[in-house]
A and B are shown apart, each in its own frame.
Chain A
């Protein structure tokens, strides 16, 4: 029986590979595969000193044109997870069908990165494209990273290259397969690119949930790293307004991501949270970019979404781009929480980090 199952699985794997190779060969020009990954060295200095080498996310990307008007995009990530038997877990980060129905207007269905800001809409899981080693702090707490649903998108419209993204999808309580109730999330995002390499955008994300039980779509879907108390599971209204300004010129690089998050619960009322990430880099030579980062997040005392918290991160870094497929980043960081909160671990540490990011 075991033998038969094994043979069957081998047969299926061979069949799948054959179909895949035939399909790829048949559409050689229309299908593009890429891989992205990163390796890191991290040394933390706080109460204790820790240092380690780490394998980062490994990202498999496919873009395929299925017909004249329809294309498919998929992004599949394998990342370290200590709870997994193999220490790694796979995930589908993006999987979408895009229908170009009229000129620069598209209808998209599938799992996307919620287009609330420049970073989430541009860099996804490709560390090669990140200007720094990490995402902004807000991405671990208040940014709803993913949405599984329907998106209407327009881009590069008119003289100012106006773009819009309107999204309705599963709420943050849902997973990729199950949504309890009918709590949908709604996102409206707009941007302009009035001159080369510059983009200015704003967005609003709204959701009203009957219960608070974050699933795989939310920004803080794993654990609350800072919070040691009891988690709130009651009804909640979430509003997130974001503004992004980016300029990546031949020399100067600027990125600012600001977010204002207002949560409302019957028990503690409205809580006002906010975050701001600022990046400034300058391309000294074609390959060398020193940079600095100031990143801050503040969660209000009466917030039941993320729970009271604040964190400030200051970085000095250097990025060396060997070519368009390989970069080395080094970063010295200072991370601190300015205030003490109930059920909140106080943070203060220096870190030194090195990251190789690559694509192929």
Chain B
């Protein structure tokens, strides 16, 4: 009985350790969006969106995710903050999810400027850029913890 309890507790500990994944510093990142039906999102909702768990916004516009590609300096931080993993891990996550047929692929862009232009042109799109880059303030999405 003691061994069983010990095994159960060990398993829970391992699970909880692995679950605490999203822990990077989000202050260095900015979320921008275009016609997503809101100007603010809860952090948990944002993570769900960026993990492909939302097909359309409350205003019925289809979600389009724009992420920094491996060449973009924000990629590592984005992967850490929102996916709890490395850039390779984030790429594998999306490759696997798209292959499952459970989400449409996100768009990976090399520079923040490209991400901003894409979001400006595409209603329903949401993107991640680095803090300090110039962007139209009307695109900013406030994140609530």
Query: A residues bordering B, Cβ < 8 Å?
Result: 29, 32, 34, 61, 63, 65, 68-69, 71, 73, 94, 96, 98, 100, 103-104, 106, 112, 121-122, 124, 126, 129, 155-156, 161, 195-198, 247, 249-252, 286, 323-325, 359
B5 at the interface (CB under 8 A from A): no
Query: Contact at A32–B105, with CB atoms within 8 Å?
Result: yes
Choose one: B84, B95, B100, B102; the contact of A196 (CB below 8 Å). B84
Query: Contact at B91–A98, with CB atoms within 8 Å?
Result: no
Query: Contact at A250–B18, with CB atoms within 8 Å?
Result: yes
In the bound assembly, the distance between CA atoms of A359 and B96 in angstroms comes to 11
In the bound assembly, the distance between CA atoms of A251 and B20 in angstroms comes to 11
In the bound assembly, the distance between CA atoms of A101 and B86 in angstroms comes to 34
Q: Which B residues are in CB contact (< 8 Å) with A195?
A: 19
Query: B residues bordering A, Cβ < 8 Å?
Result: 14-15, 17-19, 21, 48, 53-56, 62, 84-86, 88-89, 91-92, 95-96, 98-102, 104-105, 107
Query: Contact at A252–B101, with CB atoms within 8 Å?
Result: no
Please judge, given known A-B contacts A29-B107, A69-B62, A103-B55, whether A249 and B18 are in contact too, CB under 8 Å: yes
Query: Contact at B55–A124, with CB atoms within 8 Å?
Result: no
Query: Contact at B105–A249, with CB atoms within 8 Å?
Result: no
Q: Within the complex, what minimum Cβ distance (angstroms) separates A161 from chain B?
A: 7
Please judge, given known A-B contacts A156-B48, A251-B14, A324-B88, whether A126 and B102 are in contact too, CB under 8 Å: no
Choose one: A65, A96, A121, A198; the contact of B104 (CB below 8 Å). A65
Q: Within the complex, what minimum Cβ distance (angstroms) separates B15 from chain A?
A: 7
Query: Contact at A73–B101, with CB atoms within 8 Å?
Result: yes
In the bound assembly, the distance between CA atoms of A173 and B101 in angstroms comes to 26
Q: Within the complex, what minimum Cβ distance (angstroms) separates A200 from chain B?
A: 13
Q: Which B residues are in CB contact (< 8 Å) with A61?
A: 99
Which residue of chain B lies nearest to A121 when distances are taken between CB atoms in the complex? B100
Which residue of chain A lies nearest to B48 when distances are taken between CB atoms in the complex? A156
Q: Which B residues are in CB contact (< 8 Å) with A251?
A: 14, 17-18
Query: Contact at A250–B85, with CB atoms within 8 Å?
Result: yes
Choose one: A96, A112, A286, A359; the contact of B95 (CB below 8 Å). A359
